[in-house]
Amino acid sequence: DADADASGSAAADSSLALDDDAGIASPLVVLIASLHERIDAAQAELAYHRERLDRNMATQSSTLQRVASFTWLEVAAFWGALYLQVVVVKKMLAKRRMGLHV
């Protein structure tokens, strides 16, 4: 009987140890699961921002390609036309100030 009692108390001690480990492990499991959820959410957000960045870079690239495709002649023609419009408007305003009707 003494051996049976000793083995019974040893089994009870080991079950207490397992319960104690489970008591500690349970909050750790919950914490780890929570951390995994946060990591997954952060990775999803990172993927979203990467996709937006890729789209923005593609848009900028196509805009730069369109701008780069202009020739110097086209650029000079644009600025020349703009300059002529400014000169014409200045002359019209000067005539109005002098009282002449345009």
Do residues 76 and 44 share a domain? no
Q: Domain total for the chain?
A: 2
Do residues 47 and 82 share a domain? no
Stated pTM of the model: 0.39
Do residues 10 and 32 share a domain? yes
Do residues 19 and 54 share a domain? yes
**What pLDDT does 95 receive?**
86
Please give the residue range of the domain that contains residue 89.
Answer: 71-102
**What pLDDT does 42 receive?**
94
Do residues 36 and 52 share a domain? yes
Do residues 79 and 48 share a domain? no
Do residues 94 and 59 share a domain? no
Do residues 14 and 58 share a domain? yes
Question: Which single residue is written with the structure tokens 């036309």?
Answer: 81
**What pLDDT does 97 receive?**
85
Q: How far is residue 69's CA from residue 62's CA, in Å, rounded to a whole number? A: 11
Do residues 93 and 49 share a domain? no
DSSP 70: S
Of 13, 16, 34, 12, which is closest to residue 24 (Cα–Cα)?
16
**What pLDDT does 50 receive?**
93
Residue-level pLDDT, tens digit, the chain, 102 residues? 545 444 454 444 444 444 455 566 788 888 899 999 999 999 999 999 999 999 998 888 887 777 777 788 888 999 999 999 999 999 988 888 888 665
